Amino acid sequence: MTATPSGLALPAALPASALDDAESYDVVVVGFGISGGCAALEAARAGARVLLLERAAVHGGTSSMSGGHFYLGGGTAVQEATGQEDSVDAMIAYLEASTKDPDKEKIRAYCEGSVEHFGWLESLGFEFERSYFPGKAVIQPGTEGLMFTGNEKVWPFRDDIPPAPRGHKVPVPGDTEGTRIVMDLLRERVEEAGVEVRFETGATNLVVDDGRVVGLAWKSFERTGVVRADAVVIAAGGFVMNPDMVARYTPALGSKLFTLGSTYDDGLGIRLGESVGAALEHMDEPFITAPFYPPSSLVKGLIVNKEGKRFVAEDSYHARTSYEVLRQPDATAYLIADSEHMEEQRMPLVPLKDGYETIEEMEAGLGLPEGSLVATMARYNEYAARGEDPDFHKHPDWLAPQTEGPWGVYDLTLGVAMYAGFTLGGMATTVDGQVRREDGSVIEGLYAAGACASNIAQDGAGYCSGTQLGEGSFFGRRAGRHAAGAAAESPVDR
């Protein structure tokens, strides 16, 4: 009999008898990233006695490693101040259209609550700058508060849904320390609300009584203990750092990729949920990307596969482009730009492979079928000169003939370009974070939020920058409020 790999082993659920003489709380939150912090804060503000456990020595988790985007819309103060029209209906329509298997109830709740959530985030003690960055970038280079961070202006979405920028960025230049500011403010608000925080303390097992979660066991170095709780909120991150779970669910992340996560993104939170019957959703969906812009001038070039054919609109959000690259033969692709559009790279994740004096030399140098690239370039340039792209409907703003030699080739091939990724799947939950079983029923007393829950950011091809922080904080808040309400009505003995 083959032993279960350690990374897939489920912690044993403990019986209620393990709680004899245990300390008691209304709500216990596992994980002090943005979702856990928001859950703890809202639960405390709702009157609950809250304990927040964090395995690391400091708060922040993977949230503090992000670029600082929050995907918000429907008419936020930044959108209005910068003249960017948006509506709840347009935001709903876009997220539903761009997501492979949309959870319509969660998307509607998120969009309808987006403006209020924007205000709640600013009430932590900072303001998004009332400014707009119009260029094509992964992160705004300055402190601009708003930019496009998805495929809103990309075909086919722009044809039926009015495009609006929704990537709200913390006011710090570039991608450094942005979310750390938010996490530091969130820590201050959590402390003010009276939440008890224990660092270097992780959950090890859930305690169950007749199918209901009534507490958990914890460990801090060599010390162990148990806590009685009316509700447990698991916000312990994804599983990108767990090789066994990655191999089972998202093997693409285990091949030639740089993983985006903290040490504790090991899937333990998900496995804790599984140990008491949690259903899992979208576990096979990773976010994988290797941005080739900035400079935005490269977006005006064209991308071909090893057959010398285009396969994606080059103005797509970088993760959508990367998703399509990985579906090509041998995950091989090249970005081609002429000398007029080859500016210095500011995110050299996609290396310059070579330069060529003629298209014929380039075709031979890349080992493409004879005549393939010549024909592709000729067609692209002909239509780009007219501001058209009948093949992939690239936006006219990013169309330009690539006719000024010499030409440069950037290598988007997996294993050459620096692809990075993280996991998107997790526990199935209600709109208020209650964890579901396979039959759809909820596990009383158990909630999940953030990267260990499946919410709206569950489609690698349709992902928008800012949905992880946006939905993590939004649904973390909902889970905390609901958990506090459930605790007030709980039959758990104290």
Q: Which of 16-30, 442-456, 477-491 has the lowest mean pLDDT?
A: 477-491
* In a shared domain, residues 297 and 399: yes
Task: Tell me the mean pLDDT in the region 74-89.
Answer: 98
Rounded to two decimals, the pTM is 0.94
CATH code assigned at 439: 3.50.50.60
- Residue 17 lies inside a defined structural domain of this protein: no
Q: What is the pLDDT of residues 371-422, one digit of tens each?
A: 999 999 999 999 999 999 999 999 999 999 999 999 999 999 999 999 989 9
Crossing angle for the helix pair 88-98 and 104-112, nearest 10 degrees? 150
Per-residue pLDDT of 261-293, as tens digits, reads: 888 999 999 999 999 999 999 999 999 999 999
Select the more confidently predicted residue: 178 or 51.
51
What total number of domains does the chain contain?
A: 3
What pLDDT was estimated at residue 1?
A: 57
One domain, residues 158 and 94:
yes
Q: How confident is the model at residue 175 (pLDDT cuts 50, 70, 90)?
A: low
pLDDT of residue 256: 78
411, 440, 465 — which closes off a domain?
411
Check whether residue 232 and residue 295 sit in a common domain.
Answer: no
Query: What local confidence, expressed as pLDDT, does residue 131 receive?
Result: 97
Structural domain includes residue 3? no
> What is the arrangement of strands in the sheet containing 333-338, beginning at the earlier edge strand?
302-305, 333-338, 407-411, 352-356
187 and 54 housed in the same domain: yes
Inside any domain, residue 434: yes
Average pLDDT over residues 171-178: 69
Q: What is the DSSP letter of 222?
A: T
Neighbours of 333 (CB within 10 A): 29
Residue 1 lies in a domain: no
Parallel/antiparallel/unpaired status of strands 426-428 and 453-454 = parallel
Residue 317 sits in the same domain as residue 403: yes
Average pLDDT over residues 352-371: 96
pLDDT at 261 (0 to 100): 81
pLDDT at 463 (0 to 100): 86
pLDDT (tens digit, 9 = 90+) per residue, 182-193? 999 999 999 999
* 444 and 305, same domain (yes or no): no
Say which amino acid occupies 336: I
Q: pLDDT > 70: what percent of the chain?
A: 98
Cβ proximity of 31 and 64 under 8 Å: no
Whole-number pLDDT of residue 174: 62
Q: What is the pLDDT of residue 3?
A: 78
In terms of residues, how long is the chain? Answer: 494
Same domain, 229 and 138: no
Residue 494: the pLDDT is: 47
pLDDT at residue 179 in the model: 81
Domain of 380, in residue numbers: 291-411
Closest CA to 18 of 233, 214, 272, 275: 214
Query: Is residue 149 pLDDT above 70, yes or no?
Result: yes
Q: Are residues 403 and 295 in the same domain?
A: yes
Final residue in a domain of this structure, among 356, 383, 411: 411
pLDDT of residue 220: 97
Say which range, 155-169, 343-357, 395-409, has the weakest mean pLDDT.
343-357
- Identity (one letter) of the amino acid at 315? D
User: Of 169, 188, 211, which residue is a domain's last?
Assistant: 169
For residue 491, the model assigns a pLDDT of: 56
For position 391, which CATH number holds?
Answer: 3.90.700.10
235: pLDDT strictly greater than 80: yes
Please tell me whether residues 308 and 347 are part of one structural domain: yes
Taking residues 131-135, report their average pLDDT. Answer: 94
- 90 & 202 share domain: no
300 and 402 both lie in a single domain: yes
